[in-house]
Amino acid sequence: MNKLQQIFLLFACILVLAVAAVQRDGKLLGNRVFSSDKKDVKNKIDTLRTLDDGTVVINTTYLAKNIKGFGGTVPLEIYLKKGKVQQVKALHNSETPEFFHEVSGLLERWNGKTTEQALAMKVDGVTGATYSSNAIIANMKLGLQYASKNVKETSLFDKLDLRAKTIIGFIVVLMAAIIPLLVKDRRYRIFQLLLNFVVLGLWGGTFLSWSVLVGFMSGGINVWISLIPIIMMITAFVYPLFGKKKYYCTYICPLGSVQELAGMVNHNKWKMSKRMAQYLEHFRKILFWVLMFLMLAGVWSQWMDYELFVAFVFNSATWVTLLLAVAFILLSFFVPRPYCRFVCPMGSFLKLPTTKISKWI
């Protein structure tokens, strides 16, 4: 299988996640995709949002909904970075273009000022376009007042999740991503599997699942607090391009790790016929495509909430998921990695970029 085909299939997988995100949440990377429902427009505009570079954007559409210019409301976007106004943009309005052009110079008056300085400024309206200029000034005042109450400037260290379980989890996932490439030792492997299960799974509740990936595609990824799953995704999607197939499933996945550990305890495994193994493998493929159809058709995407990985997040897992997780772990004492081999929809998805299409038909 050549690299070009792998890359093509990888992009196809990304497209599948994008469609699933739109079907489930109506969003893609944090942006609302459909805006045909006018009654729900309010839910599609964020009064405060933060860009990737740390810039905070205040949208005054709702803050100043009662402030009118000559032709209607005059909403603004106020861009704040490091406590200072970077720029002010006028959003769509119904003001007369000629008059509004005269007052557009006002938008630069607050640039470079801190929130406190900008609020203290005395800005006069523009003669001849009084209604429009007064509306801009009033929007700025309300937007800046909102910012002073709701915007907390953060440093890089404030953005990072520096809790002990996150730091230790980051070290563990780095070990799992690097050391097995260099060291082939059974004792170390057992140690790493234990770390994966206890630290990444039980303590951190960090794993790759359909719900996690679709959530990232829907809402976007906050890099500063998602370093562990980002490394997991690199091992799951990038490593196979360099010949390391199933790396995430084999060396990192906490559910796969506990199944392998359970299998190491009992050396007397059930003898499964080749035909039975083939039937179960066919079942996994059929299950995967059925779930894909349900998800992409928008019929029942809730199946993602029942993936066994969710059992690591005890507070939100259903009792059905918890019981199934326990059952598969117990089964692992007698059948090697049963959930991974015969059920896991996430594992089936991760195989797609490195599997010939003919094998999935």
Range list of H helices, the chain: 3-25, 97-103, 115-120, 130-150, 156-159, 164-182, 186-195, 210-219, 227-233, 247-251, 254-265, 274-296, 319-331, 338-342, 345-351
* Rounded (10°) angle between helices 3-25 and 210-219: 80
Report the alpha-carbon distance of residue 360 to residue 216 in Å, rounded.
Answer: 26
Residue-level pLDDT, tens digit, the chain, 361 residues: 578 888 888 999 999 999 999 988 888 887 777 654 444 444 457 899 888 788 999 999 999 988 988 778 999 999 999 889 999 999 988 887 877 888 888 999 999 999 999 999 988 877 777 788 889 999 999 999 999 888 876 555 656 667 888 999 999 999 999 999 999 999 999 999 999 999 999 999 999 999 999 988 988 887 877 899 999 999 999 999 998 999 999 999 999 999 999 999 998 899 889 999 999 999 999 999 999 999 988 888 889 988 999 999 877 788 999 999 999 999 999 999 999 999 999 999 999 888 765 555 5
Distance from C-alpha of 140 to C-alpha of 134, rounded to nearest angstrom = 10
pTM: 0.71
3 state SS of 87: strand
The C-alpha angle 222, 227, 230, rounded to 5 degrees, equals 90
Determine the pLDDT at residue 358: 52
Number of Cα atoms under 13 Å in the Cβ half of residue 143 = 32
Q: Which residue has the tokens 């949002």?
A: 49
Within 10 angstroms of residue 60's Cβ, the number of other Cβ atoms is 26
At residue 36, the pLDDT reads 45
Residue 360's pLDDT is: 54
104 sits in the region (left: phi over 0; alpha: psi -120 to 50; else beta) called: alpha
CA distances from 355 to 9, 284, 312 (A): 9, 15, 29
Cα(47)–Cα(44) distance, rounded to whole angstroms? 10
Inter-residue contact 67 to 142 (CB < 8 Å): yes
| Nearest in space to 235 (alpha carbons), one of 255, 217, 250 | 250
